Chain A
Amino acid sequence: MASLETTLQLLSPYPPGWGGTLLKGAASTLAISAGAYLIGLAIGMAGALGKLSGNRPLGLLLNLYTTAIRAVPELILIVGLYYAGTDGLNRLLLLAGMPPLEVNGFVAAVAVLGFVQGAYMTEVLRGAILAIPSGQIEAARAFGMSPALRFRRVVLPALLPNALPGLGNLWLAVTKDSALVAVVGYQELALATRLAGASTKQYFLFFLAAALLYLAITLVSNLVFSLLERRVRRGQPALA
């Protein structure tokens, strides 16, 4: 085991210490997680509304989407979509007669993770919307509110308290799933740790440091979400 001084030297944020690489990896993890989360939210919202709209073919298609994504291991999804995604996109563009797009690693990772998150988000948001007392929505309709206005004023504020625990879990899930893109060679925290370990041969130290960084992200996220829940639940009776 390295002495305390060499340990601190190795972890130092300034080269030749590897702390900087790890921190950059952590920033990368947060960036792809945030991007994937937002895309997942967008897909999830659209998916939830689509499923609840009563349109049969749309509902079937969305069911297929959510079931398929939730049944297949994430690793296979990420590896498959990372290569298939660009390939498929470019083939579609070719059919449409447009030039192929070049997608950089960041966008590909975010898109793949976001696509996977969208399936889980659809279910969480759908459950949250179903839990809104139907009387509130009927009252909004009786007032003559348009669907967009109804969504903005009634549905969205009402679904947030119901959805927040599930959304919090999904945020934690996406920060941990982001480690899987290390397998396709995209450099976030897990891969940065492996590189640091490989160069210095101090594997235990760096994996432990990475675990602590992920833990820090988790604890801060937990704090943020509990604050959000408190804000969103203001004025409502306390939970049992």
Chain B
Amino acid sequence: MKFFATLLAGTAFAFSAFTASADVRFGIMNEAYPPFFAKDASGKWQGWEIDLMDAVCAEMKEKCSIVELSWDGLIPALQTKKFDVIWSSMSNTEERQKIIDFTDKYYNTPSKLIGAKGEKAGATAEDVKGKTIGIQVATIQSEYYKKYFAGVADEKTYQTLDEAFQDLAAGRIDYVFGDSIVLDAFVKSDAGKDCCADMGDVADDKEILGLGVSGGLRKEDTELKAKLNAAIAAVRASGKYDEITRKYFSFNIYGQ
């Protein structure tokens, strides 16, 4: 009898996890991606993108919660309704637009290469000939690699950019290709400053490197899209956007 009672209680507990919440749930990659988002030692999310999320939620007057997932699982999980908005520095590209919808952009930064200290700087196909480039899986940089560097240099894919940094420091790869701000943060950090240096931005390609970072949405959530766009515009207009940006950067990251 006691067994069945505990079984029932257990099932009820499990089902309580099913109750629909009124929160707007933001999906974020569960890896460190400073300075945009990272978890500190007490498990709290911090970073520019987190601050922006809080500001946008305040504008929308909604309660927001964070759902953590792996990077390559963000789009499938969005579609199976595990959360409502992808807010994980994901760029708006035409390829992705076939499956999901995007809000207006909230920042736009170029992509660059970093390499071993002392190597010749330069980020064209000529410079990377015969070398190995570390790229995070399912990113705009891996698309760019396929178009410009594929026949010329080797690619190593990593689940997270951080693993690529480790291998660059260990000398297993020659370059890491990613977002310029995150790569800059690494090169300036303790772990990066001895081993690695900036090799320069890659030539821009609007189609592949995208139209800027935006929030990812399901195609049918038009109402949420309108709300988010309004909130993003309001945050920009009120000066809160610049205030948050000043906390982390000395330059504008919104782009044209």
A contacts B directly (C-beta below 8 A): yes
Q: Which of B68, B71, B166 contacts A203, CB < 8 Å?
A: B166
Interface string of B34-54 (1 = CB under 8 A from A): 000011111100000000000
Task: Assess A105 versus B41: contact at CB under 8 Å? Given A191-B30, A198-B32, A201-B190.
Answer: no
Contact mask A185-205 → B, CB, 8 Å, 1/0? 111000100111011010100
Note all chain B residues with C-beta closer than 8 A to A90: 80-81
Given contacts A90-B80, A198-B31, A198-B160, contact A185 B43 (CB under 8 A): no
Contact, CB under 8 Å: A105 / B67: yes
With A86-B82, A198-B162 known to touch, is A106 a contact of B42 (CB < 8 Å)? no
Number of A residues contacting the other chain (C-beta, 8 Å)?
Answer: 37
Surface stretch bound by A, among B12-20, B103-111, B126-134, B171-179: B12-20
The contact of A86 among B70, B81, B159, by CB within 8 Å, is: B81
Q: Tell whether, in the assembled complex, residue A183 and residue B70 are in contact, meaning their CB atoms are under 8 Å apart.
A: yes
Chain B, Cβ-Cβ closest to A103:
B18
Query: Contacting A199 at CB < 8 Å: which of B20, B38, B68?
Result: B38
In this complex, what residue of A is CB-closest to B67? A105
Within 8 A of A (CB), among B70-88: 70-71, 73, 76-77, 79-82
Q: Which of A100, A110, A184, A196 has a CB less than 8 Å from the CB of B70?
A: A184
**Chain B residues in 8 Å Cβ range of A99:** 20
User: Which of chain B's residues have a CB closer than 8 A to the CB of A203?
Assistant: 166
When distances are taken between beta carbons in the complex, the residues of chain A under 8 Å from B79 are 87
Which of the 9-residue segments A13-21, A55-63, A215-223 touches chain B? Answer: A13-21
Residues of A near B30 (CB, < 8 A) are 185-187, 191, 195
| Nearest neighbor of A199 in chain B, beta-carbon distance | B32
Taking a contact as CB atoms closer than 8 A, the residue among A20, A86, A194 that contacts B42 in the complex is A20
Residues of A within 8 A of B77 (CB): 83
**Within residues 107 to 164 of chain A, which ones have a CB less than 8 A from any CB in chain B?**
107, 110
Are A87's CB and B80's CB within 8 A? yes
CA distance A17 to B42 in the complex (A): 8
Interface residues of A in 172-190 (CB under 8 A from B): 183-187
**Judging by beta carbons under 8 Å apart, are A185 and B68 in contact?**
yes
Alpha-carbon separation in the docked complex, A106 to B16 (Å):
12
A100 and B18 form a contact (CB under 8 A): no
Judged by a CB distance under 8 angstroms, whether B250 is at the interface is no
Q: Please, which residue of chain A has its CB at the minimum distance from the CB of B40?
A: A15
Q: How far is the CA of A227 from the CA of B31 in the complex (A)?
A: 40
**CB <8 Å contact, B80 and A83:** yes
Q: How far is the CA of A83 from the CA of B76 in the complex (A)?
A: 7
Q: How far is the CA of A196 from the CA of B160 in the complex (A)?
A: 14
Which residues 159-214 of B have a CB within 8 angstroms of A? 159-160, 162, 166, 189-191
B81 near A102: Cβ-Cβ < 8 Å = yes
Residues of B whose CB lies within 8 Å of any CB of A are 7, 10, 14, 17-18, 20-21, 29-32, 38-43, 67-71, 73, 76-77, 79-82, 159-160, 162, 166, 189-191
The 8 closest A-B pairs by CB, nearest first: A185-B70, A15-B41, A185-B69, A201-B191, A15-B42, A198-B32, A198-B162, A185-B30
